[in-house]
Homo-oligomer: A and B are copies of this chain.
Amino acid sequence: MMTFLQGDVERLGQRAREAGRVWAQASTQQKNAALLAMAGAIEERAEEILAANRADVEAARLAGAAVAVIDRLRVDDRRLQAMADGIRNVALLHDPVGEIIKEWTRPNGLRISKVRVPIGVIGFIYESRPNVTSDAAALCLKTGNAIILRGGSEAFHSNMAIAQALRRGCESADLPVDGVQLVPTTDRAAVQALAELDRYVDLLIPRGGRSLIERVTALARMPVIKHFDGICHVYVDRDADPQMAQEIVLNAKVQRPGVCNAVETLLVHEAVAPTFLPRCAQALAERHVELRGDPATCRILGALARPAHEEDWRIEYLDLILSIRVVSDLEAAIRHIEEYGSHHTDTVVTDNEQTADRFLRAVDSAVVLWNASTRFNDGGEFGFGAEVGISTDRLHARGPMGLEELTTYKYLVRGSGQVRE
């Protein structure tokens, strides 16, 4: 591996900035042509990509990596095809760049338009899945943003081969290839150099474990959009339809337990807990969900639940485990969510509109639902077509992050010679 100095990262950024200026001005047609060429290049260079990936997988195996890590790392024909198809899907989406967000005329005749524009250069720091390389590059190209990719070291050769194919695609569509660049080293110092490059990088998106995200956030001089844990709640109100509540709880926990929008804690109003909990717990147990309850829950459920500890309310299990707490009323549920939740996704199940309104208003989470599964906090389910992720930040992008969230705005002001008095 070559030594990679700060100056090299700086040159990377400079080239991305220059290419980004051209990408920002490219027409939708031109960007879509480049996306199709990228997808084609992935297919044409399949052999090189698969060979590079075999080398990565072999190295990971020799290094004793866990089975799950090797599975995430592996690219086979099917996954390669999914990458190419994913890029083609992005070409079909609506291009948000140039959209007029708002427009008004001032009394002095100035016409002000707030229009969507690319952010500029986006730094993408991620871990083991090589498909993130093509997904992220496609979303950035569609929105006219240059991208600097920094993947996990275990996927280094795979990512280099994929990035090379993507650049070839740009080239054949006459867009500057430096709009997609991969940091050509696994040296950890490169992450710091990237995080300090606020002159050329406008936004950093770290995707991966908490420690990676925290490290990047502490170092970064530019805005960072974070994708942290989801400690999501379902609150079953006294006025809930018990059948609906049970289906929502089951779906939110079992349909895909390993994701951030799965429910981790069930809160149940004390008035309905004795009737609701036994049936619901039975259904959960049949689906192999381990239940951890507060004392009231344990009294109701007996052997079906084991006692929850204080830390259970703060854990993102990402597994077939559910903590359950009986609460005295709506306000107690809201307080629990405020105290222990991660402001990600929370649902109230109730037939009472006033209760729902209070919950929707008071719970300070990116997505707050009424009578629906937490699993709907998702770019696809929101109709965004593609998703960068689910932001746990409050500013710029909150909740599902689609193409619009990869843009910012500028103001165009059209006058006829106006000056200020």
Q: A371-B418, A372-B417, A376-B413 are in contact. List 10 more A-B contacts (CB 8 A).
A: A119-B395, A202-B395, A250-B419, A356-B414, A368-B410, A368-B413, A372-B416, A375-B420, A381-B420, A395-B396
Q: Contacts A218-B221, A247-B417, A415-B372 hold; do A364 and B117 have CB atoms under 8 A apart?
A: yes
Q: How many copies does the complex hold?
A: 2
Q: How far, in Å, is A308 (CB) from chain B's closest CB?
A: 24
In the complex, whether A241 has a CB less than 8 A from a CB of chain B is yes
> Chain B residues near A395 (CB, 8 Å)?
119, 202-203, 223, 395-396, 408
Q: Does A399 contact B (CB under 8 A)?
A: yes
A112 at interface by CB-CB < 8 Å: yes
Residue in B119, B365, B371, B415 whose beta carbon sits within 8 Å of that of A371 in the complex: B415
Q: How far is the CA of A264 from the CA of B128 in the complex (A)?
A: 48
Q: Which residue numbers of A lie inside 8 Å of B, CB to CB?
A: 21, 24-25, 104, 106, 110, 112, 117, 119-120, 202-203, 217-218, 221, 223, 241, 244, 247-248, 250-252, 255, 338, 356, 360-362, 364-373, 375-377, 381-383, 393-396, 398-400, 408-420
Please report the C-alpha to C-alpha distance between residue A293 and residue B361 in the assembled complex, in whole angstroms: 59
Would you list 26 pairs from A and B whose C-beta atoms are within 8 A, ordered by A residue?
Answer: A21-B338, A24-B364, A106-B382, A110-B376, A248-B419, A250-B419, A251-B419, A360-B412, A360-B414, A366-B410, A366-B411, A367-B411, A367-B413, A368-B410, A369-B412, A369-B414, A369-B415, A370-B412, A370-B413, A371-B415, A376-B418, A376-B420, A381-B420, A395-B395, A398-B409, A400-B411
Q: How far is the CB of A77 from chain B (nearest CB, A)?
A: 27
Alpha-carbon separation in the docked complex, A221 to B112 (Å): 34
Kindly list chain B residues whose C-beta atoms are within 8 Å of the C-beta of A251: 419-420
What distance in Å separates the Cβ of A410 from its nearest Cβ neighbour in chain B?
Answer: 6
What residues on B are CB-neighbors of A356 within 8 Å? 414
A409 to B382, CA, bound (A): 15
B110 touches A372 (CB 8 A): yes
> Most chain-B Cβ atoms within 10 A of its Cβ — which of A251, A365, A410?
A410
Distance, CA A85 to CA B420, complexed state (A): 23
